[in-house]
């Protein structure tokens, strides 16, 4: 049997050491103390006349036995030499107990005796090791609870009552209390409760002390519940270990009473033995004022011997408040409580323990009895009628409130140990919660508050055993009372809301509600209902913000903070795996393999929740068309492809939201399938231990009873069969159940239909139901009870529709208890975040709405901060679970409160912003979210950018937020060629990045304020300065620039949305002049867009298309220079500069984008040409090695070529070109021709000094070495085919080079023209390393040399006065002709076109000989041409080219040659071919064109001649 272990106990005073306890001095101290207490009692007794005289009996003088016993104690106590614990406590306690029991002692004497006993108990004179301690403790309890005394005055009477309370409490707290029996503990509790009751008519002090003592008793008793040994309780209805005969031999337990009288009064004990034949059981009760069937108090007159006056006292009769308000007028109602508390001995609610167990040391049995009694106090009002003098409100509130306080104390101290005691747990599961649910909570906020406290304690300690009870409490109590539409007062709503918020603050509460209830298809969606309640309660509707609204918001945020607290605990998934149902399974009765392993129960309940949602959709389809609804459920695999009655019945029974009219029609249909469904539907109910009327109520709450009699009959037949199967005690067969059910329906209609005038009486009802029970009558009491139940409580045949909150009825409660036996185990949530995604998806929308509305209506900063905390928490969860839509909603909601989007003037906006704490907090929060959780912002970027632009327009954005970011990025970039690239933006660009000029900036505004008229009050400027300072600090806290500089850490989707937001915010540029404000917006957007582009070089492909198109729109739509196009052009150049080294695969695309610069309007291009060229130069110098494609170089050289004729940009352009061509390291086959063309344009350009053109010519000339090098490399490293292809390309490049020279050779400037001719000669004669085909040389002669000579001849003949010193140019040109011809002679002599070529050469010499410059022939030419011709002829002769009858057509060549030679110098033929035929010395060309005799060519020619 469960009992308190002996070692437990509460130490009231400090325990003496053991050696002291056995020492002589310690024993002597105890003896002296007891002696002193006896003396004190004797002294008080002697003050009374009655005790101060001696009674005479003959010659002897007799003393009263009370005095004699005390004197005897004083005489004997000093003679006790044994150890103290071996002395029987009865020896020194009995004299005091006799005084307490005596009817003749007055209140002062009794009080002193009680005090003496109290001292003995509190000083631990008696402990569990004392001999005969059990009898001693029981004697103390019996004496104190049976205390009798004469009342001399009210004050002394109250003192005695207080002493009684002290002694009883000391008994329980004594070390020896473990020896008290269950019965005595119950007596102690009952006695204290009686004093609490009687104290209602006494002083407030006594009332408070008695209640406090009652609480202490309960706390002490139940604090030992964890120490109780876990043993099976032997109950009367269980296994009794002691026979009835043994109990009788042990003696019957008598009722113990406290008698508090002037003559005699008493308080009956809580427990008394009631004998019915051979059945013994315990009856809980109170006396006539609050007892269950006890005799009435004895109240009468008493003569006060001290005052000599007679007075009359009646306890409790005049009390008007508190517990004492229960008067004898209510005695008839109290009898009803007795009947309810005792029950019938065979009822399931009866909890009688075996009497033998009540005599054992106290433990679980007394706790069960006490707790059951406390629960019965909760419904005492419903059984007690109101007397004429009773204070109804006080009584209704005080009795349950006091009981609730005691119950709460018991639960607090019993805690989880209650789970190990089935009887206590059963009381809590059924009786306690049933009473809590049925309390009239709406009348008393105090009661509701205490009920909620009990519910919270039960959740903490016993929630695993109270799954459905907690669901019912929150559904039927909290949800109803927290809403005004159900009739609750504001105070009640506030208390209910406070309780709900307290629950929300428990970390696991909402998670467990969701997991256990919302994910259970047979339970309500408590989590969703509570969240909806909180969100709706937080939103003011046509009223100012109140504490209720803030409280509801606190609840929502508490739930959100709970989710935040679990974010770092693992198992956080961006989005749980979707639930797929591929086939139908019987899910209504499915169980999880393990409710303790999250890896199993999490997917299980998520699947259940998914099914529950789909069932709700199916219910909606069913309500529109039942047939189509069932088909829909079959299509979603929630019903089998071939319908079976059981699955349809479960759907109709457990799915919420179904139209109950349609359910009734479906169940009442006559087709075979519907009848089978009806049968299965009825079998889903558990009617065990339920009365017929309650069973019928429960059935008819699930659907509307059809109106047709046949349908009604089918429904009632199925019901009757099920009811009789489970409750056959009274009814003979199912037909009896059917007939009686019909009769109840008829009675219900008769009693509650207003159109029925003549109502059925009880006798009529009984008469109508004769002989229906298998030919016999039903018991009259049974029918009478049914009749009165129907009369009192109508059976609603039209149940409530929709999703409202119904009332908790008796039938619903019984059904709940049955359901609790088969419901799934309660899932305990840990700190994992497995369900947070699903929960947050449900509550995020309502939560954001609630926070937004409260923030809008709030006026206090602490509420502002609460809302801000809520926003940040929602944002954090959204980011953690990748709920981008939710995060966007947070951003949109917050941006409304920044006031930055409100149209107003600049000054007004700045001042208003600085004075608006809400706006500043919202602004900081928006940018905090953007910086922390930008990865998961999508469309919200547009709202954030609107705020950024507004700050910019107000002059509040840091002046260089974009450019500083770009510079920082550049400084952190990798150095190129050992040199870090500095900012590429020119000063004009930098200047344009400052705040728009029309805004003077913060310091400018401060200066304006300081310069105000001196006569104005100083407070105004000071306030404005303070507002500006607050504004400045707020913007600094926003870290706006970090959004863009740290954009490299954003996820791709978020980055793309940010870029698109900037493009949209900038707007589409229009041709022509736009508004300055629009242009400023476009400028800052472009700067920020370029910033994020530069910071995301690794993801440029993601951004490039949008950025390029935006810049292209700007460039192509701008016709005049402006800041916007400036930012576009230079931004594009900066992007190319930064990205070319890292994005080789994008190099062509980047460089192609620079062609936009070529499309600039002429006026725009002219305005920025120099800066553009400088940027292009920087780009080339930094990235020349990264530009490899023809297209890329074409773009670069095109940009550089344009600058050749621009006075400001030419220098920078040529500098870039020089970098490319100077040493040939950056010349490539891909860019060679392009660079040559660009150099030619600089050579031809008249802008600047001629030295630049000369230098350009030199670049062209020096570049031929690159061709030779490439040709050589090709021969060494490539195959024949590749080498041939490259040689062909090199030939084309060489031809382009010399063609370029041809054009420059016609330049008006002498130095340029001559240098070009010399460079051309170098290119034509210095190509030994380049293998050029004959046809290419012929093209060169035709396209370059001959054309150039002809053009120069034409210029010279044309009297062009702009050309100075043409004679020298002509000399150089003709020498070039001769030299190139002679060098190529061996290779082209055998060519078929040689004759034509030779004619071209000799004819040009002839023309140059005859040319007249400024009207006269030039002497130098007259000398030079014949000499050149002579040498040419000699070489041709030596090579055997010019001979008579030559194989190559000598006659023809010979004749043609001499025809032309004779025109030039007739004597040359004789000189070259003398008649003697002697050899002539062969001459080699020197620098003037002559051939010296010592050259090898002479020998070769001589050898050939031989």
Q: What is the CA radius of gyration of the chain?
A: 57
The answer to whether residues 1242 and 1207 touch, using CB atoms and an 8 Å cutoff, is no
Q: Which residues of 1002-1033 are buried (b: 16+ CB within 10 A; e: fewer)?
A: beebbeeeeeeeeeeeeeebeebbebbebbee
Q: In a 10 Å sphere around its CB, with 0-12 CB exposed, 13-18 middle and 19+ buried, how is residue 344 labelled?
A: exposed
| Cβ atoms within 10 Å of 419's Cβ, excluding its own | 15
d(CA 651, CA 764): 41
Candidate list 339, 708, 1037, 1423, residue with the active-site label: 708
Angle (CA) 1391-1392-1398 rounded to 5° is: 75
Q: Helix, strand, or coil here: 61?
A: strand
d(CA 934, CA 879): 8
- Token pair, residue 54, equals 């001696």
Its sign, for the CA torsion 921, 922, 924, 925, is positive
Through-space distance between the first and last CA atoms of the chain, rounded to whole angstroms? 148
- Token pair, residue 50, equals 């009655």
Residues in contact with 1477: Cβ distance below 8 Å, sequence separation at least 6, in sequence order = none
Q: What are phi and psi of 10, to 5 degrees?
A: -110, 125
Q: What own/partner pairs with CB < 8 Å and gap ≥ 24 does 676-680 have?
A: 676/645, 677/645, 677/648, 677/649, 677/652, 678/649, 678/714, 678/715, 678/718, 679/645, 679/718, 679/721, 680/645, 680/646, 680/648, 680/649, 680/650
Q: Which residue has the tokens 């504004």?
A: 1031
The answer to whether residues 296 and 288 touch, using CB atoms and an 8 Å cutoff, is yes
For 237, which DSSP code?
Answer: T
| Residues in a beta bridge with 363 | 3
Q: Which residue has the tokens 């912002």?
A: 937
Q: Which residue has the tokens 């006790």?
A: 80
- Token pair, residue 586, equals 């019987």
The answer to whether residues 517 and 527 touch, using CB atoms and an 8 Å cutoff, is yes
Q: Which residues of 1347-1372 are buried (b: 16+ CB within 10 A; e: fewer)?
A: bbbeebbebbeeeeeebeebbebbbb
The answer to whether residues 67 and 53 touch, using CB atoms and an 8 Å cutoff, is no
d(CA 729, CA 130): 55
Examine the residue annotation and report whether 708 is marked as an active-site residue of this protein.
yes
Q: What own/partner pairs with CB < 8 Å and gap ≥ 24 does 984-988 have?
A: 984/1130, 984/1133, 984/1134, 984/1137, 984/1175, 984/1178, 985/1130, 985/1134, 986/1130, 986/1171, 986/1174, 986/1175, 988/1126, 988/1171
d(CA 888, CA 1150): 33
Residues in contact with 1317: Cβ distance below 8 Å, sequence separation at least 6, in sequence order = 1301, 1305, 1369, 1372, 1373, 1376
d(CA 873, CA 883): 13
d(CA 289, CA 197): 8
Which residues carry out catalysis? 708
């Amino acid at each position: 049997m469960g009992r308190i272990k002996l070692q437990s106990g509460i130490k009231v005073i400090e325990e003496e050491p053991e050696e002291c306890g056995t020492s002589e001095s310690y024993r002597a101290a105890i003896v002296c103390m007891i002696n002193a207490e006896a003396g004190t009692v004797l002294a008080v007794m002697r003050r009374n006349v009655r005790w101060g005289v001696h009674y005479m009996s003959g010659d002897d003088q007799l003393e009263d036995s009370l005095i004699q016993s005390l004197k005897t104690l004083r005489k004997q106590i000093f003679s006790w030499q044994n150890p103290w614990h071996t002395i029987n406590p009865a020896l020194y306690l009995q004299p005091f107990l006799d005084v307490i029991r005596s009817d003749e002692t007055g209140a002062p004497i009794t009080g002193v005796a009680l005090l003496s006993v109290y001292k003995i108990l509190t000083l631990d004179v008696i402990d569990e090791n004392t001999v005969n301690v059990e009898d001693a403790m029981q004697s103390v309890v019996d004496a104190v609870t049976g205390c009798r005394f004469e009342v001399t005055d009210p004050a002394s009477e109250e003192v005695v009552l207080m002493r009684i309370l002290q002694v009883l409490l000391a008994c329980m707290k004594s070390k020896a209390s473990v020896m008290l029996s269950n019965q005595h503990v119950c007596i102690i509790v009952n006695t204290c409760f009686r004093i609490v009751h009687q104290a209602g008519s006494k002083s407030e002090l006594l009332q408070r002390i008695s209640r406090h003592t009652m609480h202490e008793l309960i706390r002490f008793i139940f604090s030992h519940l964890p120490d109780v040994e876990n043993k099976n309780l032997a109950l009367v209805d269980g296994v009794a270990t002691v026979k009835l005969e043994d109990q009788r031999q042990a003696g019957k337990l008598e009722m113990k009473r406290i008698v508090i009288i002037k003559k005699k009064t008493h308080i009956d004990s809580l427990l008394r033995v009631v004998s019915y034949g051979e059945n013994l059981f315990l009856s809980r009760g109170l006396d006539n004022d609050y007892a269950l069937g006890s005799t009435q108090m004895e109240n009468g007159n008493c003569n006060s011997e001290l005052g000599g006056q007679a007075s009359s006292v009646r306890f409790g009769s005049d009390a008007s408040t508190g517990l004492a308000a229960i008067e004898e007028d209510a005695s008839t109602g109290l009898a009803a409580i007795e009947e309810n508390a005792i029950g019938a001995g065979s009822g399931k609610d009866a909890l009688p323990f075996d009497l033998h167990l009540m005599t054992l040391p106290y433990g679980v049995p007394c706790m069960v009895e006490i707790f059951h009694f406390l629960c019965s106090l909760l419904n005492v009002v419903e059984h007690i009628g109101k007397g004429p003098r009773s204070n109804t409100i006080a009584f209704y509130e005080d009795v349950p409130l006091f009981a609730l306080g005691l119950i709460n104390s018991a639960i607090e101290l019993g805690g989880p140990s209650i789970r190990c005691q089935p009887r206590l747990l059963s009381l809590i599961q059924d009786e306690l919660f049933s009473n809590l649910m049925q309390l009239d909570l709406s009348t008393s906020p105090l009661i509701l508050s205490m009920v909620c406290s009990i519910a919270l304690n039960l959740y903490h300690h016993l929630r695993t055993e109270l799954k459905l009870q907690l669901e019912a409490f929150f559904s039927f109590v909290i949800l109803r009372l927290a809403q005004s539409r159900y009739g609750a007062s504001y105070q009640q709503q506030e208390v209910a809301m406070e309780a709900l918020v307290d629950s929300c603050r428990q970390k696991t509460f909402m998670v467990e509600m969701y997991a256990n209830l919302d994910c259970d298809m047979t339970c309500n969606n408590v989590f969703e209902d509570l969240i909806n309640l909180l969100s709706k309660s937080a939103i003011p509707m046509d009223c100012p913000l109140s504490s209720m609204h803030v409280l509801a918001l606190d609840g929502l945020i508490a739930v959100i903070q709970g989710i935040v607290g679990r974010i770092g605990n693992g198992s956080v998934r961006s989005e749980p795996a979707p639930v797929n149902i591929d086939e139908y399974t019987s899910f209504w009765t499915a169980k999880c393999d393990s409710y303790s392993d999250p890896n199993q129960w999490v997917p299980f309940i998520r699947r259940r929740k998914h099914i529950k949602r789909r069932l709700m959709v199916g219910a909606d389809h069913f309500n529109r068309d039942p047939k189509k609804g069932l088909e829909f459920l079959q299509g979603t695999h929630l019903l089998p492809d071939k319908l079976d009655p059981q699955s349809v019945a479960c759907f109709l029974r457990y799915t919420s939201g179904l139209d109950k009219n349609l359910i009734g029609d479906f169940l009442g249909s006559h087709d075979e399938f519907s009848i089978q469904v009806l049968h299965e539907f009825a079998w889903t109910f558990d009617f065990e231990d339920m009365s017929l009327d309650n069973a019928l109520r429960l059935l008819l709450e699930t659907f509307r009873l059809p109106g047709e009699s046949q349908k009604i009959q089918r429904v009632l037949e199925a019901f009757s069969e099920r009811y009789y199967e489970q409750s056959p005690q009274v009814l003979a067969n199912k037909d009896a159940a059917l007939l009686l059910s019909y009769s109840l329906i008829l009675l219900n209609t008769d009693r509650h239909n207003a159109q029925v005038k003549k109502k059925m009486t009880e006798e009529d009802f009984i008469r109508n139901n004769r002989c229906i029970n298998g030919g016999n009558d039903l018991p009259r009491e049974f029918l009478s009870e049914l009749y009165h139940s129907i009369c009192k409580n109508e059976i609603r045949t039209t149940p409530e529709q929709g999703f409202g909150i119904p009332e908790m009825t008796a039938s619903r409660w019984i059904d709940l208890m049955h359901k609790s036996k088969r419901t799934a185990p309660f899932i305990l949530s840990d700190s994992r975040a497995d369900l947070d995604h699903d929960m947050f998806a449900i509550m995020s929308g309502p939560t954001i709405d609630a926070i937004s509305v409260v923030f809008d209506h709030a006026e206090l900063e602490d509420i502002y901060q609460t809302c801000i905390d809520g926003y940040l928490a929602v944002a954090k969860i959204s980011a953690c679970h990748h709920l981008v839509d939710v995060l966007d909603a947070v951003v949109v909601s917050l941006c409304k409160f920044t006031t930055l989007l409100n149209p107003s003037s600049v000054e007004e906006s700045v001042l208003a912003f600085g004075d608006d704490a809400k706006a500043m907090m919202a602004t900081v929060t928006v940018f905090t979210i953007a910086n922390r959780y930008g990865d998961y912002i999508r469309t919200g970027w547009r709202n954030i950018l609107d705020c950024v632009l507004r700050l910019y327009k107000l002059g509040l954005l840091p002046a260089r937020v974009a450019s500083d970011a770009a510079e920082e990025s550049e400084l952190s970039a990798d150095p190129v060629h050992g040199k870090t690239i500095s900012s590429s933006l020119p000063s004009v660009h930098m200047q344009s990045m400052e705040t728009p000029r029309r805004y003077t900036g913060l310091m400018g505004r401060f200066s304006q304020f300081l310069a105000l008229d001196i006569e104005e009050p100083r407070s105004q400027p000071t306030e404005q300065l303070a507002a500006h300072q607050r504004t400045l600090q707020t913007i600094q806290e926003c870290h706006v620039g970090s959004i863009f500089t740290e954009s490299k850490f954003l996820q791709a989707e978020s980055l793309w949305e940010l870029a698109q937001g900037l493009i949209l915010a900038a707007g589409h540029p229009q041709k022509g002049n736009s508004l300055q404000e629009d242009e400023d917006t476009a400028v800052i957007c472009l700067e920020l867009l370029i910033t994020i582009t530069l910071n995301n070089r690794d993801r440029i492909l993601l951004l490039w298309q949008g950025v390029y198109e935006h810049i292209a729109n700007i460039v192509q739509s701008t016709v005049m220079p402006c800041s916007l196009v400036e930012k576009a052009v230079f931004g594009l150049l900066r992007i190319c500069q930064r990205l070319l080294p890292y994005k080789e695969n994008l190099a062509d695309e980047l460089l192609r984008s620079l062609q936009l610069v070529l499309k600039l309007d002429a006026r725009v291009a002219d305005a920025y040409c120099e800066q553009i060229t400088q940027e292009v130069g920087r780009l080339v110098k930094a990235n020349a090695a990264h530009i490899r494609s023809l297209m890329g170089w074409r773009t670069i050289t095109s940009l550089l070529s344009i600058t050749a004729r621009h006075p400001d940009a030419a220098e920078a352009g040529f500098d870039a070109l020089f970098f490319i061509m100077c040493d040939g390291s950056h010349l490539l086959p891909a860019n060679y021709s392009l660079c040559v063309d660009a150099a030619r344009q600089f050579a031809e350009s008249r802008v600047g000094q001629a030295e630049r053109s000369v230098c350009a010519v030199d670049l062209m000339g020096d570049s031929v070495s690159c061709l030779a090098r490439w040709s050589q490399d090709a021969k060494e490293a490539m195959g024949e085919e590749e080498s041939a292809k490259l040689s062909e390309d090199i030939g084309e490049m060489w031809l382009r080079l010399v063609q370029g020279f041809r054009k420059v050779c016609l330049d008006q400037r002498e130095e340029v023209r001559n240098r070009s001719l010399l460079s051309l000669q170098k290119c034509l004669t210095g190509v030994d390393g380049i293998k050029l085909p004959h046809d290419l040389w012929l093209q060169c002669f035709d396209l370059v040399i001959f054309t150039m000579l002809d053009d120069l001849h034409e210029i010279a003949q044309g009297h062009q006065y702009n050309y100075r010193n043409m004679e020298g140019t002509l000399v150089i040109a003709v020498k070039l002709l001769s030299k190139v011809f002679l060098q190529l002679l061996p290779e082209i002599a055998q060519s078929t076109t040689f004759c034509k070529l030779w004619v071209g050469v000799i004819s040009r010499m002839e023309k140059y000989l005859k040319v007249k410059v400024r009207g006269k022939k030039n002497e130098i030419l007259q000398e030079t041409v014949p000499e050149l011709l002579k040498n040419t002829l000699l070489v041709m002769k030596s090579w055997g080219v010019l001979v008579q009858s030559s194989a190559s057509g000598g006659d023809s060549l010979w004749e043609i040659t001499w025809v032309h030679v004779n025109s030039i110098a007739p004597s040359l033929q004789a000189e070259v071919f003398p008649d003697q035929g002697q050899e002539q010395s062969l001459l080699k060309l020197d620098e003037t064109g002559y051939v010296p005799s010592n050259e090898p060519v002479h020998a070769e020619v001589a050898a050939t001649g031989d």
